[in-house]
Amino acid sequence: MDRYKKYGVEDFVWDIAFRQWVLAPTREDETLWTAWLIENPERKHKVDQARQIVSALRIEEQPLEDQEIRDVIADSLSKINNTERYEVTTLPLVKRFYSSIWFKMAASIVILIGVGLYVKSYYSSLINPSYQAAGVPETEIVIEKVNSDDQDMLVQLPDQSTVTLSPGSKIRYVKEFTHTKRDVTLIGEAFFDVAKDPHRSFFVYANELITKVLGTSFRVKAYPSTSEVTVEVKTGRVSVFAKSDPELHSKLTKRELEGLVLTPNQKVTFMREAVKMVKTLVESPEMVLPKSQLPHFVFEDIPASEAFAKIGKAYGIDIIYDEAVLRDCPLTAELDSQPLNEKLSILCKAVEADYEIVDGQIIIHSRGCK
Amino acid sequence: MNSFIQRSNAPDDHMMWQRFIAGEVAAFNDLMSSQFRSLFHYGSKFSRDREFVKDSIQDLFLLLWERRERLRDDVILKPYLMASLRRLMHRKSDLKARIEMEEFKGQEAPFELQFSVEQHYIEEESTLLLAENLKKLLNDLPPRQKEVVYLKYYQELDRSQIAEIMEVSPQTVSNLLQIALKHLKTHWRAEFLTFFLLHFLV
């Protein structure tokens, strides 16, 4: 312990043995240091100061609730239990197959092809440096598809979702999605038909906009050169938010759809310059009910309110009207063939009303028919 | 009393790891429960985004579980998990930048850590000033020096473990540590002197 005789406060503070005595003393430490201080009383003040400083200097840690830890662990356990079941059902089959002659023959062929592909990819990587590197797990291999043709291109994603990529557009995704998320980046335009997976949300990153879904179909237009980004929903529900959203991360990680939620036939337009989102309806809404349930829009002397309700249901769009006022407006019309906007115009004309589209809903203004 | 200092691996760490590798679901639960908080504290040094840190720890455990048959059974748990988490977080943020087609900026990885002084440990005004000065010097260290000091003095890891975590040579660890300590000691001493000079003059 001789070296300590010349120690200043700054030396004691950064001495491992000293810190251990201060922070988590053993009985030996205690005996040793007490004895040393009796022999070297002139160091006592320095030792005292150093001891207080070592105890007082803490690291500021982010608070973390026990409940948060429990939640993550519960979620993880449900995920490993899922894969467990999957492995149990496939394992015996694979084992028997390993030993068969067919397997061995097939394996040799696969190896040969594998070597061939490796050599090929090695040479092509020399010419065309890609993101792919040897030994990188599949969840980290980035795949990019570019549609340089003049027709739509169908892309199958690793989760069986499909993307119809418009000409001149490209998408990026990883070869194998992780357990927690499915991320796709789009430049240009594409129609997404997303496979249902309640455990893994599906995200489309397009310019400044992020679209989050669990399983549904929708179209995103995000060309780099245009001033708008749009998302149109065909089926299901999607939520849309800006990359600049201050609560971005919670919106990305929560299972619920938060933010601006779109339902079928709704469309959001994001104005890139103004950083503003406007919800409206798609240009030509389609009926959302299955074919067998499609109603006939033949109205014979029924209240107008009923006609609007029927139309709203068929298109999956909220039509807002004053029930008390429109109940007394009788209506006769046959509207099977017209698109939605014409249906609405005809109905409104008949009962002397107007309609407007606000925030993805249709609002009927009427003064009544009395 | 000093919850942030863990001097040695808990004796049952090794057992827990063996059970984990053997595929015992209960061990997955035990391991994650016992390590989550300290890994969260460590991961928070690389990102302020707490959800990202939590996700990364989850990904780490799921990944280890998936590959458990190929993992070594004799690892020292704490530095092993810290090194894995650090690597995974850096890869994830790198990958995220690539997927989102942002240009990779190749900047030095952040290591954000703030020291604070808990005043109730301090008895004299002059000691408090010293502690505050040291705190400021520590907070202002460059990221890599800060990380070395943190791993050495606040996680009590040895040189080779630190080298493995930071993915540098043991020699680099020694150099970084020496530079950091020299800086801390000389500047602190200088502050000392000014302080006492002022004290006598005024």
Averaged pLDDT for residues A28-33 = 90
- Is residue A279's pLDDT more than 80? yes
| Nearest residue in chain A measured CA to CA from B138 | A57
pLDDT of residue B3: 33
Indicate the pLDDT class of residue B101, thresholds 50, 70 and 90: low
Cα maximum dimension of chain B: 70
Is the CB of residue B66 less than 8 Å away from at least one CB of chain A?
yes
- The CATH number assigned to the domain holding B63 equals 1.10.1740.10
Report yes or no: A49 at the B interface, CB cutoff 8 Å.
Answer: yes
Please tell me the number of Cα atoms within 13 Å of A173 on its side-chain side: 24
Per the structure, the complete domain to which residue B168 belongs is given by 119-201
Which tokens sit at A280?
């409206």
A250 and A338 fall within a common domain: no
Residues B127 and B83 in one domain: no
What ipTM is given for this predicted complex?
Answer: 0.82
Count the domains in chain A.
4
Q: CA-CA distance, A142 to A173, in Å (whole number)?
A: 6
- Please state the φ and ψ torsions of residue A233, each to the nearest 5 degrees: -100, 130
Q: What CA–CA distance (Å, rounded) separates A270 from A267?
A: 10
pLDDT for res A126? 35
User: Is A270 found in the same domain as A153?
Assistant: yes
Confidence at residue A338, expressed as pLDDT on a 0 to 100 scale: 86
Residue A157 structural domain: 138-277
Q: What's the CA gap between A170 and A147, in Å, rounded?
A: 6
**Residue A320 forms part of a structural domain:** yes
pLDDT digits (tens, 9 = 90+) for A164-219: 999 889 898 988 888 778 989 998 899 999 988 877 889 999 888 889 887 788 99
Residues B141 and B83 in one domain: no
User: Does the pLDDT value for residue A45 go beyond 60?
Assistant: yes
In a domain, A64, yes or no: no
Beta-carbon contacts below 8 Å between A and B: 145
Q: Is residue B197 part of a domain?
A: yes
Residue B22 lies in a domain: yes
Contacts of A126 (CB under 8 A, 6+ apart): none
> Is B108 part of any domain?
no
- In a domain? residue B110: no
> Residue B86: phi, psi to the nearest 5?
-60, -45
- Residue where a domain terminates, one of A277, A312, A327: A277
Distance CA B18, CA A360 (A): 57
**Option in B29, B49, B135 nearest A77 (CB):** B29
Q: Model-level pTM?
A: 0.55
Q: How many CA atoms lie within 13 A of A144 on its CB side?
A: 13
For residue A288, the model assigns a pLDDT of 84
Whether residue A147 is found in the same domain as residue A272: yes
Nearest to B127 among A53, A83, A172 (CB): A53
DSSP, residue by residue, A49-114: HHHHHHHHEEE------HHHHHHHHHHHHHHHHHHHHHHHHHHHHHHHHHHSHHHHHHHHHHHHHH
Are both A159 and A261 inside the same structural domain? yes
The 10s digit of each residue's pLDDT in B26-36 is 899 999 999 99
Which residue of chain A has the CA closest to B50?
Answer: A62
φ, ψ of residue A32 to 5 degrees: the values are -60, -50
Residues of chain A neighbouring B59 (CB-CB closer than 8 A) = 178-180
The number of domains in chain B is: 2
23-42 in A: which are within 8 Å (CB) of B?
Answer: 23-24
- Render pLDDT for A293-308 as a digit per residue (tens, 0 to 9): 878 888 888 888 888 9
Distance in Å, alpha carbon of B75 to nearest chain A alpha carbon: 22
CATH at A209: 2.60.120.1440
The stretch A221-230 carries a mean pLDDT of 87
Cβ atoms of A172 and A148 within 8 Å: the answer is no
Strands A209-213 and A238-242: antiparallel
